[in-house]
Amino acid sequence: MVAAFAMLPDYYPEKGRLFEPYTVRRGEVIETYQLGSEEHDYSKNIYFTVSVEKDSSFWSEPYLDEDDPNVTLITYTFPVYDASGRIAGVVGVDLESEWLGNMLNARHMFPSSYDILISGEGKLICGPKVSSLFFERLPLAS
pLDDT at 140: 52
Instruction: Name the pTM for this structure.
Output: 0.76
The domain spans of the chain are 2-132
C-beta of residue 35 within 8 angstroms of C-beta of residue 125: no
pLDDT at 29: 92
CATH of domain 2-132: 3.30.450
pLDDT, tens only, 25-77: 888 999 999 989 999 999 999 999 999 999 999 998 888 888 888 888 889 99
pLDDT, tens only, 77-124: 999 999 999 999 999 999 988 888 888 878 777 877 778 888 888 887
pLDDT at 4: 92
CA distances from 45 to 2, 33, 49, 53, 130 (A): 16, 18, 6, 12, 33
In angstroms, the CA 65 to CA 37 distance is: 21
